[in-house]
Structure 1
Amino acid sequence: MYSLTESEKKILKEFLEENVQSGLIAPSSSPAGAPLFFVPKKTKDLRPGIDFRGLNKITTKDRYPLPLTKDILEAVRGAKKFTKLDLKGAYHLLRIKEGDKLKTAFRTPFGHYEFRVMPFGLTNVPSIFQRFMDAIFSDLLHQTVVVYLDDILIFSVHPEQHTKHVLQVLERLRQHHLFCKPEKCEFDQTEVKYLGYCISQVGVAMDSDKIQAILDWPSPSSIKETQCFLGFANFYRQFIADFAQRTSYIIQTLKKESLRKGFCWTKDAESAFQQLKHAFIQAPILRHPDTTKQFLVVTDASERAIGAALLKNKMMMG
C-alpha cells in the first residue's frame, strides 16, 4: 500500500463513501489487493487510481481493436455539421460478473474494497468498451457517427439532416441507459475539436491547445524528456513538411553511439528543436481529398531522411 498525504486521505475517504453508496465498489475479503495512488486531473484536482499492473500481467488479452484516427478523419470528410458528445461514467456502466469482482480488490488505509463495475486501469477495458459502443451504433458507424471509446462525434454532410442524426444517436444512448455530460457536449457546430484535431468542412487542423503546448516545451535535458517531446510532436507529423529531416539531429542524441558518454543535447539538436517548434506555428490545414480529381505523388530521399507528398489541383502546377 502506497503512503498517502493527509489531503489525499481526505479525498480517498470521500471517494470510498460515495462509491460504496452508489454501488460501484463494495467491501472485500479477496486475497488480491492492488495498491491505490492518486493522479492529477486536467483541473489539477486529484483522482484515485488503482495499480492493476500485477493483475494485467496475468490477464488474457482482448485484442478487439480501437478505431484508427485516420479512418475516423476519412469518415467525416465532407461533413458540414458536427455534434460532440462525452459520456458520463461510461466504463462504470458495465458490470463485472460474479467470480471476477474479487480480482479487482484494492487496499486503502480505510479498508479492503473491490469493484462491482468495470474500473479504469484494467488492460482489457478499452477493448471491451469499444466493442460495446460499436455494437450499439453498428448500423450508424462511419455513416453519421464515429466513436472512440466514450467520445462520440455525430456528423452530417447535409446540415438540414443533422438534427435527425443527433436524435438518432441520443435515442440509441437512452435505450442502453447511457448518459452524457452536458457541460462537455457541443451541439450543431461547423468546427469541432476531436481526438486532438480541429475538424471542419474545409479539412483537418492541429488543436491550438496542443500547438501551444509544443511552443511552451522547454529544451530536453534527458533521454526521457527527448523521447517525450518526439512522441508528442510525432502525433502531428503529417502537418509538418520534412518532419523526418527536421527531427534527425534530435533523434541522433538518442542513438547508442551518441549515448556512450551520456546524454548530450547538442547545438544541432537545439537548432532543430527550435525550427521544429516554429514549423508548428505555420502548419497548414490538411484539406479533405477530392477523389474525383487527379493526384500526383512526389518522393525524395537523402542520407538522413526520406519523404513524400500527395499533390493535386493548383499544387501540381508548381
Structure 2
Amino acid sequence: MSSPLTPIVLGHPWLVKHGPRVDWGRSTVLAWSNECYASCLMSACSSVSGSVLQEEPVNLSNVPAEYLDLKEVFSKSRAASLPPHRPYDCAIELRSGTSPPKGGLYSLSVPEREAMEKYISESLAAGFIHPSSSPAGAGFFFVGKKDGSLRPCIDYRGLNNITVKNTYPLPLMSSAFERLQGASIFTKLDLRNAYHLVRIKKGDEWKTAFNTPRGHFEYLVMPFGLSNSPAVFQALINDVLRDTVDQFIYVYLDDILIFSSSLQQHVQHVRRVLQRLLENGLFVKAEKCEFHAQSVPFLGHIVSSEGMHMDPEKVKAVVDWPSPDSRKALQRFLGFANFYRRFIRNFGQLATPLTALTSLSTTFRWSGAAEAAFSDLKGRFASAPILVAPDPSRQFVVEVDASEVGVGAVLSQRSVSDDKMHPCAFFSHRLSPAERNYDIGNRELLAVKLALEEWRHWLEGSGVPFTVWTDHKNLEYIRSAKRLNSRQARWALFFGRFDFSLSYRPGSKNVKPDALSRVFDRSERPATPECILPERLIVS
C-alpha cells in the first residue's frame, strides 16, 4: 500500500485469524487473538514501536554536560526492550514435591480492563511476556498509584511460599562508612525498569504464568513480586560494577551512590559507571538522579562530607510530637518514654516537671519548665545511645499499632553492646478520613503496610527474617487467605516481598507504637472498644 490511510476490505478468514476486538465508538482496536499476538504482532510491533519509542524525548535538563555524550544510558525505549540472557538470570527453584498453584481471575473494572489490554499489548510487543500453556497461573489485578494511574500486579504469594530462597546478601550501609571518608561530592543514580532488565532463567518461565480475562501469559523477564528478585538483582549489579564497588561507589539494588574527593575525579568516576551500565544493557532514570551534590539522601541517611547521618525524617515522629495539652496526652508520652529510660542518664530527674503534672491532686498547667523537660527528652530519643544505626545482618523487630486517628511504628534491634532492644527509627501517620472508616483489623494491617513501606530499604531482602509485633491475633490470615478484597490483595502482594513473621503482643505491652498512633488524638474522650467480629458470628 502506498499509504496507511488507503482503504482496504478485510475478509472473513483474516478476521477469524486475527480476532480483532473493536471499540466502534472510539474507532480503536482493543485486543487481538493470541495467535496474532504470538505470530504477527510480536515481531511487527517491536520493530515499529522500537523506531517510534526511540524518538520519545527524555528530559536531560538535570544531567551535567559532561555526560550528554552518554545520553543512550538514559534511554526509555532501550530500557523497555527484551534484555539478553546473563549468568544472573532469575532462577525459580521450587521445594521438592511442590508445584505453583493455579489461581482464579480477579474481577476488573472497565478502566482496569482497558489498562490490562494496553499493558498486555505493550508487554507482548516488547517481548516481556508471551502466551502460555503453563499449568500454573497467578491472579492479575491493578493497584492505584498516587498520580491516579493504574499499576499491574500479580499475586505470586503461592509461588513465593514454595520457592527456595536465594540467600545472596544485600550490602550493609555501615560498610560504606569508611570508604566515604574524605569524599566531598556525590551523585545518586536510579536505574530504570530495573527488574525488567533481568531475564527469567530459560525453562523457568512457565512458573511465572498469570491469568487475565484476555488470556494466559508468562514472563520472559523478572516481574515484580517474586521473593528472590532483590537478591537476583543485587548479584547482577554487583557483577557489572565489581571493580568499582570497593573504590568509589555503593550499590543497593537499583540505587547507586558515587562519591569522590574532587569534581575532576568525580566526573571520571560517574562516566566510568555510566559507560559500564550502558555496556551491560542497564539504563538510568535521569529524572530521579542527583548529580554533583554536596549532600544526598540515601537509604534513610544523609550522606555528606561530614559522613553519614540519620535522615531527620526517620525520627520526625518523635521530634514533632506536639506539647501535651492534657493530663492524658502527657501520660501517653511518659508511657512511651518509660521504655527507653534505662538509656537516659538521670531520666527520673529530667522528667520530674512532667511526672508532677500527672498527679490528680494538682491542676494541669503546662509551664516553661515542663516544656523544657519535654523538649530535652524528645531530643534524647533521637540521638545515641538510644537511637542506633540499623544493621541488616541482625534481626529487626517492627512494632506497630493503630488507633482511631493514626498509626504508629517503631523499628528496633537488639544491641550487641548491652543486649537490649534499641530503636532504629520511629514512624507515625495521621489517618485520612477514608482510612478512619477502616475496621480495626484493616487499620492494623495498614499500620504494618506503612511501616514496611517506610523501612523497605532495610527490611526487603534482609538476610535475617524479621518479626512484626502487633496486638491483633487475626492478622496472620492475610498471608494465606484464598480470596481478598482489592485493598487486602494489594497489601498482601506488597508483604510478599519481605521475609517476616507476625507475632501477637498484648496491647498492654505494645505501648510505644500505641503512643505514636495517638499523637494526633487531641480529645479527652475514652477509646471506644471496637468489634473485630460481630457477636452474631461468635459461636462461643
Instruction: State the TM-score, normalizing by the size of structure 2.
Output: 0.43
| Equivalences for residues 214-253 of structure 1 within 5 A | 224-225=401-402, 229-231=408-410, 234=412
Amino acid at match of 1:129: F
Structure 1 position 64, deviation (Å): 0.3
Structure 1 position 97, deviation (Å): 2.9
Does structure 1 residue 112 correspond to structure 2 residue 231?
A: no
74-83 vs 154-163, greater mean Cα deviation: 74-83
Structure 1 position 190, deviation (Å): 0.6
Structure 1 position 195, deviation (Å): 1.1
Does structure 1 residue 164 correspond to structure 2 residue 291?
A: no
The structure 1 residue matched to 2:251, chosen from 143, 147, 153, is: 147
The structure 2 residue matched to 1:122, chosen from 204, 223, 226, is: 226
Where in structure 2 are there 5+ consecutive unaligned residues? 1-104, 323-328, 333-398, 416-420, 427-467, 472-502, 520-540
Q: Is the 8 A contact 2:401 2:517 kept in 1?
A: no
Where in structure 1 are there 5+ consecutive unaligned residues? 275-318
Q: Is the 8 A contact 1:80 1:200 kept in 2?
A: yes
For the residues of structure 1 that align with 2:306 and 2:230, how far apart are their CA atoms? 31
39-48 vs 81-90, greater mean Cα deviation: 39-48
Structure 1 position 258, deviation (Å): 4.5
For the residues of structure 2 that align with 1:54 and 1:272, how far apart are their CA atoms? 33
Structure 1 position 20, deviation (Å): 0.9
Amino acid at match of 2:409: L
Counterpart in 1 of 2:120? 16
For the residues of structure 2 that align with 1:145 and 1:46, how far apart are their CA atoms? 34
Q: Secondary structure at the match of 1:8?
A: helix
1:161-219 Cα deviation digits (max 9, x unpaired):
10010011011111101111111111111111111222111233444555667778999
Counterpart in 1 of 2:207? 103
Q: Is the 8 A contact 2:185 2:262 kept in 1?
A: yes
Q: Is the 8 A contact 2:129 2:221 kept in 1?
A: yes
Counterpart in 1 of 2:143? 39
Q: Secondary structure at the match of 1:78?
A: coil
| Equivalences for residues 1-318 of structure 1 within 5 A | 1-207=105-311, 224-225=401-402, 229-231=408-410, 234=412, 254=471, 258-259=506-507, 270=515, 274=519
For the residues of structure 1 that align with 2:201 and 2:194, how far apart are their CA atoms? 17
For the residues of structure 2 that align with 1:58 and 1:88, how far apart are their CA atoms? 29
Amino acid at match of 2:182: G
Pick 1 or 2: higher relative contact order, CA cutoff 8 A, min separation 6. Answer: 1
Structure 1 position 35, deviation (Å): 0.5
1:16-56 Cα deviation digits (max 9, x unpaired):
11111111111111111001122344545321111111111
Q: Is the 8 A contact 1:90 1:150 kept in 2?
A: yes
Q: Is the 8 A contact 1:253 1:269 kept in 2?
A: no
For the residues of structure 2 that align with 1:77 and 1:56, how far apart are their CA atoms? 40
Quick one: percent identity of the two aligned structures? Answer: 44
Q: Secondary structure at the match of 1:11?
A: helix
Q: CA 1:272–1:176 in 2, change beyond 3 Å: closer, same or farther?
A: closer
Q: Is the 8 A contact 1:79 1:201 kept in 2?
A: yes
Structure 1 position 123, deviation (Å): 1.4
For the residues of structure 1 that align with 2:222 and 2:469, how far apart are their CA atoms? 43
Question: RMSD across aligned C-alpha pairs, in angstroms?
Answer: 3.9
Q: Is the 8 A contact 2:260 2:266 kept in 1?
A: yes
Q: Is the 8 A contact 2:408 2:516 kept in 1?
A: no
Q: CA 1:65–1:10 in 2, change beyond 3 Å: closer, same or farther?
A: same
For the residues of structure 2 that align with 1:252 and 1:87, how far apart are their CA atoms? 34
Structure 1 position 110, deviation (Å): 1.2
Q: Secondary structure at the match of 2:409?
A: helix
Q: Is the 8 A contact 1:81 1:188 kept in 2?
A: yes
Structure 1 position 133, deviation (Å): 0.7
Q: CA 1:89–1:253 in 2, change beyond 3 Å: closer, same or farther?
A: closer
Q: CA 1:11–1:158 in 2, change beyond 3 Å: closer, same or farther?
A: same
Structure 1 position 73, deviation (Å): 4.2
Q: Whose radius of gyration is greater, 1 or 2?
A: 2
Q: Is the 8 A contact 1:80 1:190 kept in 2?
A: yes
Counterpart in 2 of 1:277? none
Amino acid at match of 2:117: K
Counterpart in 2 of 1:278? none
Q: Is the 8 A contact 1:66 1:130 kept in 2?
A: yes
Q: Is the 8 A contact 2:402 2:517 kept in 1?
A: no
Structure 1 position 68, deviation (Å): 1.6
For the residues of structure 1 that align with 2:505 and 2:193, how far apart are their CA atoms? 48
Runs (4+) of structure 1 moved beyond 6 Å?
213-220, 263-266
Q: Secondary structure at the match of 2:166?
A: coil
For the residues of structure 2 that align with 1:46 and 1:28, how far apart are their CA atoms? 24
Figure out how many residues of one structure are paired with residues of the other and give that number.
Answer: 261
1:130-154 Cα deviation digits (max 9, x unpaired):
0111111111113111111111111
Q: Is the 8 A contact 1:95 1:118 kept in 2?
A: yes
Q: Is the 8 A contact 1:76 1:142 kept in 2?
A: no
For the residues of structure 1 that align with 2:469 and 2:136, how far apart are their CA atoms? 45
For the residues of structure 2 that align with 1:77 and 1:92, how far apart are their CA atoms? 35
Q: CA 1:80–1:223 in 2, change beyond 3 Å: closer, same or farther?
A: closer
Q: CA 1:96–1:270 in 2, change beyond 3 Å: closer, same or farther?
A: closer
Q: Secondary structure at the match of 1:66?
A: coil
Q: Is the 8 A contact 1:28 1:113 kept in 2?
A: yes
For the residues of structure 2 that align with 1:217 and 1:38, how far apart are their CA atoms? 36
1:227-277 Cα deviation digits (max 9, x unpaired):
x7324x559x9xxxx965x99xxx9995978448xx9979x9638975xxx
